[in-house]
Amino acid sequence: MTLAERDRLLALLDSFSEQTVLVVSDFVADEFVAGEISRVSREAPVLILRHRETHLVPGGGANAVNNLADLGARVLPVAAVGNDEPGRALLRYFRRKGVEIGGIERVANWTTPSKTRFLAGWTHTTRQQVLRVDREPAPLPEAARRRLERRARALAGRADAILISDYGLGVVTPALAGRILGGRKRRTVTIDSRYALLSFAGLGITAATPNEPELEAQYHTHIGRDNALLARLGERARRKMGLEALVVTRGKDGMVVFERGRKPRPIPIYGTDQVADVTGAGDTVIAVFTLALAAGGGFYEAARLANYAGGIVVMKQGTATVGPAELEAAVRSDIASR
């Protein structure tokens, strides 16, 4: 990276606080229950944990919202939560952070999607995840879906970019996205879809950020070390969806950027491949990528900033975010190390 490239990335980062992003998403409550290993139970061959702490943080699309907020952007979330304690906890969290929550629909008799992770360890050792319990909701009532659509359409005019975070939990659908976007590329629109990326084809989306397993699942194949196959599938998906760019994240192998009219461009991993926790890293990546595009960055520039962010967040335990100071330090240290 040259000094001019570094300065360009830093200038984009400085503009993050000037951006407004509409996030249409599946909210998830990520709960972490931590304890010390006491002994093995006599009732069954399982560990007994002495409870130490429980905390809940935004997960799924709510984690993307959290990352955008911590990067200084103004965020307009459109999502659904149940009228239950995880839903109320998410609303309290964002209210304290100053995030506008008027676009979040509170649905009676509906379960807020939740993931409870149990972490176990000895005194003075790193806790490891030993069990995860997921709570998934029933289909979202049609009346609630229509209210979400109206809110999203009303808020879209205030946004510099739209981020769609689809975790397959029933809030975000291609039909909903199509009605919000109207098939016209009026502004930057990005998408991260866990299970149904290609279903969002032809809706006027600008760019997508699937990870490699998600791309493999769409084409029922395995890429592995076959870079030629990755190149074919990446470009095939980009063309099918009508995207200007597609960024495939590859874990320890970094990213590959596919753009219209360009050869695929790889970006090596930032930091070490000895990660602490990959939970929510994709949310951080699309948050930074979207903000950089909204600030006027090119797709490759935005992907480079997102790559730094991903490298930072996987070194943190649990569902985490990245701040502007950490990103700036990463950009500066990367050029200093070359």
Q: Scan for tokens 């903000």, then name that residue.
A: 291
DSSP line for 51-119: EEEEEEEEEEHHHHHHHHHHTT-EEEEEEEEESSHHHHHHHHHHHHHT---TTEEEETT-PPPEEEEEE
Whole-number Å distance between alpha carbons of 205 and 179: 13
Among this protein's residues, is 283 annotated catalytic? yes
Please answer whether residues 30 and 119 qualify as being in contact, where contact means their C-beta atoms are separated by less than 8 angstroms: no
Q: Check: CB of residue 284 under 8 Å from CB of residue 310.
A: yes
* Integer Cα distance of 287 and 283 in angstroms: 6
The values of phi and psi at residue 84, to 5°, are: -130, 180
- Measured at the alpha carbon of residue 310, what is the angle toward residues 239 and 78, in degrees to the nearest 5? 70
H helix intervals, 182-323: 212-219, 227-241, 281-294, 299-313
26, 84, 283, 334: the active-site residue: 283
**d(C-alpha 116, C-alpha 136), whole Å:** 12
In this structure, the dihedral spanned by the alpha carbons of residues 272, 277, 278 and 281, taken in order and rounded to 10 degrees, is: -90
* CA–CA distance, 250 with 211 (Å, rounded to integer): 6
Q: Is-contact 286 66, C-beta < 8 A?
A: no
Q: Are 81 and 59 in contact (CB under 8 A)?
A: no
Distance between CA atoms of 302 and 296, rounded to whole angstroms?
Answer: 9
* E strand or H helix at 24: strand 20-25
Q: Which residues are tagged catalytic?
A: 283
